[in-house]
Amino acid sequence: MSENLLIAVIGIVSAIGGAIATQLFTAAKTQIETYRMLLELRADNQRLWAWNRSLVDHIYKGLGPPPPEPPDDLFDHEQ
């Protein structure tokens, strides 16, 4: 009887440990993906700011058409 109880306890502990490990792995993967997206958004924000600054300078200097072109790598993300 005690052998069956020991096997059941080991099985339950293993199942709980596996579930916890899976949750930790999923959380870490999600956090890494979120951080990568944050870096891409920051880079896009910097590119947009620089382009906007060049547009404002272009208008302020009274330069005519064509306006400065947007950055080539704007919103160019790997999917």
Chain segment 48-79, per-residue pLDDT in tens = 999 999 999 999 999 988 999 888 887 777 65
Q: What is the pLDDT of residue 71?
A: 87
Question: Can you tell me the distance from the alpha carbon of 64 to that of 58, in angstroms, rounded to the nearest whole number?
Answer: 8
Q: What is the reported pTM? A: 0.67
pLDDT grade for 2, boundaries at 50, 70 and 90: confident
Question: Can you tell me the distance from the alpha carbon of 56 to that of 73, in angstroms, rounded to the nearest whole number?
Answer: 20
Per-residue pLDDT of 15-41, as tens digits, reads: 999 999 999 999 999 999 999 999 999
Q: What is the pLDDT of residue 79?
A: 56
71 within 8 A of 50, measured Cβ to Cβ:
yes
Q: What is the pLDDT of residue 76?
A: 76
Question: Can you tell me the distance from the alpha carbon of 46 to that of 56, in angstroms, rounded to the nearest whole number?
Answer: 15
